[in-house]
Structure 1
Amino acid sequence: MTNPEVRALEPKALWNKFADLNAVPRPSKKEERVIQFMKDFGKKLNLETLEDEVGNVIIRKPATQGLEDRKMVVMQSHLDMVHQKNSDTTFDFDTQGIEMYIDGDWVRANGTTLGADNGLGVATIMAILESDSIVHPAIEALFTIDEETGMTGAMGLKEGVLKGDILLNLDTEEDDEIGVGCAGGIDVTATRSYAEEAVGEGKTGYSITVRGLNGGHSGMDIDKGLGNANKLMNRLLYNGFENFGLRIAQIDGGSLRNAIPRESFATIVVDKVHQESFEFEFGTLVKAIKNEYATLESDLEIILEETKTPEKVMDLGVQEGLTKALYAAHNGVYRMSPDIENLVETSNNIARVLVQNGAIKIGCLTRSSVESSKTDLANALRATFELIGCEVDLSGDYPGWAPNMKSPILQVLVDKYKNINNTEPHVAACHAGLECGILGQNYPEMDMISFGPTIKGAHSPDERASISSAKKYWNFVLEILKDIPAK
């Protein structure tokens, strides 16, 4: 097995299971291998193991002696992980296991996402299922699929499959936080075709590269003011078009809907007569952008290079509409919660912009803890893109999770946290999509809570998991399991 340094970390049960899991490729929508891995794990332990019709894996373990009278606990995490890598990293997520290393108090990956989101939760549950010494009530381990790209696992879990009374969702990323609510989301996808025009004589081709941005989680990090590569690229293209008649041949920006775009690439054409003034003006704008983002995005690079002049560019009218629509389309925080301090209520991430071969595709993820506000922003985006002739599809709609401050399991966790750490936990809702809201539709009586170890930079190659926090979190989990209420 790889990653011996990580396997030597304490608690070994947790880190070894995480290393086992990270050796299995597990991209969203391609979870066949990790589903089989988890089924084999449960069967090897001679525990009741089943796969439902959408691919979720459920493993049941009886209570340890003396806790048979306690309520059954559903321990839940998702099997898939976000796949992001640096542009200069050679890595095949479909065939390779994650390469981990230790950096002070952090476990990181070599140029890729780490998979701590939600692999540390999965590893926690695996370690408890395997243990013959950890005290716990009856456990129903629920490993869902495809959380990161649609939550289809949680959506596909049928009513009546689960038997538990309490759900512990292990997918929160600050170890002093107890999650009691989350945002819902909806995908806004705009598409249209366009005619291409031949590039005439006297033109110069350029490539524009925006890279080096932090990226991050499009929910949890959306309020940090980080750069969005798609918005920055459009700003450059709009300025060049307005001042020098820049023409667009292609754009390829961003990747996953739930990751703030870190990179964007474009191929453009400018009249040779404007070449010198265009380059000067471009450089001036780059300096201004870098100055704006100097504090937050110190590694930002914006590169303009001459390249082979492309043969075709976008239709002029469509290009003008596209650059204006992308400028107008809202990105970032739309509304803060008036009820919960410092909570983002509604936001949008312009996640993907692809323009090539006569086709435009723009992908956004709109989030909100208030359904009407989510609909309002989605409609604003739809209207923006429909004005330039796009077909707009609203899909993947999933609900938020409304806080229940009178939850019995919440009180257990708050009391345990105070007793262990001599300080109050931060009880909060988050601006991310957790599966609790979806699961609660078919299991409305289930008492739900979310918590986890400290993970930074989720959904980006800067993802890292705190070693000291993992110890703190592991102890918290074990103490919670000892004190689950009686039936």
Structure 2
Amino acid sequence: MNEHLDSLAPAPLWRHFRTFCDVPRPSGHEQALAERLAQWADQHGFEHERDEAGNLLIRKAATPGHEKAPGVVLQGHLDMVSQTAPGVDHDFRRDPIETFIDDGWLYARGTTLGADNGVGACAALAILEEPGLTHGPLEVLLTVEEEASLVGALKLRDNWLAGRYLLNLDSEEEGDVYIGCAGGASVRFETSLIDAPFDGPMETLEISVHGLQGGHSGLDIHRGLGNANRLLSRLLHRLCDHGLRLCEYEGGTMGNAITREARAVAAVPKQRHEEIMALIEQYQAIYRDELAAIDDGVTLSVAPGRAERALSNEDSFRLMGLMHGLPYGVAGMSHSAPGVVETSNNQGIVSLKAGKFSIQLMVRSLRDSTRDELVARIAALIRLTGFEPQINQGYPGWTPQPASELLGRFQKVHERVTGEAPAVKVIHAGLECGLIGAKHPEMQMISFGPDIRGAHTPDERVDIQSVENFYGVLRAAVEELARG
């Protein structure tokens, strides 16, 4: 499997990426890959260690004569988002990722590819074994559980890194260099409600929303994509006026992915069957009209459901009313970085089973104050509905340093290698630079990478030529920074 990767350039990078595809690595399950990379480091004589969180650090001494050059940290993460296309049975903890090439892009069959951030991590590893490369002291930092609220960076061992410059390789647009990113926080609540047997003549229906694109809740939130949790709760909230009682709910698998599919099992009065079916058909037309320009594959499906117990109509109305009323999407645009989202919220994972309900939301913002304000608004809405929210401590954003020496040197290297100056940007997605910078405030940082599209969805793909271009810039940047 994946033999075609061996024919791509640069060969060391793609050889490592084949390993990343062969060894399962969903968030929280990076141990096997980390052990494989530790063995590789031993074979090449590189010093390595892992911290208490499981992050992997590999060190390589400077080229002789360049020992006094500023140290460089190449940084990425080991884990990947686990998403499958409809009807695809894939166990991300056991099954390898199968890739294929189409028109110059690398895809996975029916799943996320893991180019986010596998390609960047593999580029860092390839640099360590690049023949003839002149470099100062090198460190490759590969963190864990980045896709689960940046857990590895949050728990990074104090005073672990010695480098002066950090090159984060987790961006997804060739020709751009990022110097700042959003911080974030998650809000969730869990509650147990009483479910009871049906009373009166009821029928059960399984109602689902599918056919949506999905996307990255940071990179794609401004596009107005459909979120299945939002669409389904909007319909169910309306159907509660017609006696609906909620039995089960399942929507979303990652807090940082825009939900593509959601399903609910509900009990409805038999005598209202026709009006309920008419409402579902009406909402299908509404959703198709509202999302025609961006998510026109949105589909509402109804099938017979199986359940014997349900929440009361009142509790169903309360839960779906809360979901319907919670903010979603862009909450504000940045004034200091025109065209960039400042603050947003995503409804990521929602579940109801045997009366136990939970919801997880992800708030992002370039400003900690507006992040905290949106979190407070969400928490207030949850409390008004009679529930108690749980708020994590959040993670900081990455404050831009547009006058940094590192950025200036990188811009010159990029223009020399590619013929064009890079576009300097701030990104609404979360990068680990903010958390690492909090532990190493003296460190200068930038982020760049190849062209990746469809991150956090089964349509994820990476442009093969852009990977070679990206690696050429990275190689030249490492050599430039070795000069002092």
Query: Given that residues 134 and 482 in structure 2 are in contact (C-alpha distance below 8 angstroms), is that contact kept between their aligned partners in structure 1?
Result: no
Partner residue in 1 for 2:243: 245
User: In structure 1, what residue type is equivalent to 2:80?
Assistant: M
**CA displacement at 1:424 relative to structure 2:** 2.8
d(CA) in 1 for partners of 2:244, 2:272: 10
Partner residue in 2 for 1:389: 386
Query: Given that residues 136 and 481 in structure 2 are in contact (C-alpha distance below 8 angstroms), is that contact kept between their aligned partners in structure 1?
Result: yes
Query: Given that residues 6 and 102 in structure 1 are in contact (C-alpha distance below 8 angstroms), is that contact kept between their aligned partners in structure 2?
Result: no
Query: Given that residues 244 and 313 in structure 2 are in contact (C-alpha distance below 8 angstroms), is that contact kept between their aligned partners in structure 1?
Result: no
Partner residue in 2 for 1:354: 351
What are the superposed Cα offsets for residues 167-200 of structure 1, whole Å, 9 maximum, x if unpaired? 0000001011101001111110022221113212
1:14 aligns with 2:13: yes
Q: Percent identity?
A: 36
Query: Given that residues 287 and 298 in structure 2 are in contact (C-alpha distance below 8 angstroms), is that contact kept between their aligned partners in structure 1?
Result: no
**CA displacement at 1:376 relative to structure 2:** 0.5
1:313 aligns with 2:316: no
**CA displacement at 1:313 relative to structure 2:** 1.4
Partner residue in 2 for 1:46: 45
Partner residue in 2 for 1:278: 276
Query: Given that residues 246 and 265 in structure 2 are in contact (C-alpha distance below 8 angstroms), is that contact kept between their aligned partners in structure 1?
Result: yes
Q: Secondary structure at the match of 1:397?
A: coil
**CA displacement at 1:66 relative to structure 2:** 4.7
User: In structure 2, what residue type is equivalent to 1:332?
Assistant: G
User: In structure 2, what residue type is equivalent to 1:293?
Assistant: L
Q: Secondary structure at the match of 1:403?
A: coil
Q: 1:330 aligns with which of 323, 327, 332?
A: 327
**CA displacement at 1:486 relative to structure 2:** 4.7
**CA displacement at 1:288 relative to structure 2:** 1.4
**CA displacement at 1:63 relative to structure 2:** 2.0
Q: Secondary structure at the match of 1:483?
A: helix
Partner residue in 2 for 1:466: 463
Partner residue in 1 for 2:200: 201
Q: Secondary structure at the match of 2:58?
A: strand
d(CA) in 1 for partners of 2:357, 2:388: 10
d(CA) in 2 for partners of 1:273, 1:47: 72
Query: Given that residues 184 and 363 in structure 2 are in contact (C-alpha distance below 8 angstroms), is that contact kept between their aligned partners in structure 1?
Result: yes
1:441 aligns with 2:438: yes
Query: Given that residues 185 and 396 in structure 1 are in contact (C-alpha distance below 8 angstroms), is that contact kept between their aligned partners in structure 2?
Result: no
What are the superposed Cα offsets for residues 372-402 of structure 1, whole Å, 9 maximum, x if unpaired? 1001101111111111221210015111000
Q: 2:259 aligns with which of 261, 264, 277?
A: 261
What are the superposed Cα offsets for residues 309-360 of structure 1, whole Å, 9 maximum, x if unpaired? x222112222221121111100001111011011111100011111221111
**CA displacement at 1:420 relative to structure 2:** 2.6
Partner residue in 1 for 2:138: 139
Query: Given that residues 13 and 122 in structure 2 are in contact (C-alpha distance below 8 angstroms), is that contact kept between their aligned partners in structure 1?
Result: yes
d(CA) in 1 for partners of 2:275, 2:131: 73
Query: Given that residues 440 and 446 in structure 1 are in contact (C-alpha distance below 8 angstroms), is that contact kept between their aligned partners in structure 2?
Result: yes
Partner residue in 1 for 2:421: 424
Partner residue in 2 for 1:58: 57
Which is worse superposed, 225-234 or 385-394? 385-394
User: In structure 2, what residue type is equivalent to 1:251?
Assistant: Y
d(CA) in 1 for partners of 2:413, 2:129: 24
1:339 aligns with 2:308: no
d(CA) in 2 for partners of 1:269, 1:202: 10
Query: Given that residues 13 and 127 in structure 1 are in contact (C-alpha distance below 8 angstroms), is that contact kept between their aligned partners in structure 2?
Result: yes
Q: 1:367 aligns with which of 343, 364, 368?
A: 364
User: In structure 1, what residue type is equivalent to 2:139?
Assistant: E
Distance 1:11 1:485, change over 3 A: closer
User: In structure 2, what residue type is equivalent to 1:278?
Assistant: I
Which is worse superposed, 196-205 or 177-186? 196-205
**CA displacement at 1:408 relative to structure 2:** 0.7
Q: Secondary structure at the match of 1:398?
A: coil
d(CA) in 2 for partners of 1:136, 1:42: 18
Q: Secondary structure at the match of 2:29?
A: coil
d(CA) in 2 for partners of 1:284, 1:320: 20
CA RMSD, 1 decimal = 1.4
The TM-score normalised by the length of structure 2 is 0.97
Partner residue in 1 for 2:152: 153
User: In structure 1, what residue type is equivalent to 2:410?
Assistant: L
d(CA) in 1 for partners of 2:363, 2:440: 25
d(CA) in 2 for partners of 1:150, 1:333: 19
d(CA) in 2 for partners of 1:324, 1:352: 17
d(CA) in 2 for partners of 1:130, 1:485: 16
Q: Secondary structure at the match of 1:372?
A: helix
User: In structure 1, what residue type is equivalent to 2:318?
Assistant: G
Q: Secondary structure at the match of 1:267?
A: strand
Partner residue in 1 for 2:286: 288
Query: Given that residues 280 and 300 in structure 2 are in contact (C-alpha distance below 8 angstroms), is that contact kept between their aligned partners in structure 1?
Result: no
Query: Given that residues 182 and 429 in structure 1 are in contact (C-alpha distance below 8 angstroms), is that contact kept between their aligned partners in structure 2?
Result: yes
d(CA) in 1 for partners of 2:450, 2:170: 8
Query: Given that residues 194 and 315 in structure 1 are in contact (C-alpha distance below 8 angstroms), is that contact kept between their aligned partners in structure 2?
Result: no
Query: Given that residues 243 and 313 in structure 2 are in contact (C-alpha distance below 8 angstroms), is that contact kept between their aligned partners in structure 1?
Result: no
User: In structure 2, what residue type is equivalent to 1:240?
Assistant: L
The 5 A counterparts of 1:79-228 are 79-228=78-227
Paired residue total: 484
User: In structure 2, what residue type is equivalent to 1:82?
Assistant: V
Query: Given that residues 179 and 430 in structure 1 are in contact (C-alpha distance below 8 angstroms), is that contact kept between their aligned partners in structure 2?
Result: yes
Query: Given that residues 210 and 233 in structure 1 are in contact (C-alpha distance below 8 angstroms), is that contact kept between their aligned partners in structure 2?
Result: yes
Which is worse superposed, 267-276 or 448-457? 267-276
Q: Secondary structure at the match of 1:391?
A: coil
Q: Secondary structure at the match of 2:258?
A: coil
**Unpaired stretches in structure 1, ≥5 consecutive residues:** none
d(CA) in 1 for partners of 2:250, 2:19: 35
Q: Secondary structure at the match of 2:59?
A: strand
Q: 1:410 aligns with which of 401, 407, 422?
A: 407
The TM-score normalised by the length of structure 1 is 0.97
What are the superposed Cα offsets for residues 411-461 of structure 1, whole Å, 9 maximum, x if unpaired? 111112222333332111111111111011111001111111111111111
d(CA) in 1 for partners of 2:205, 2:344: 33
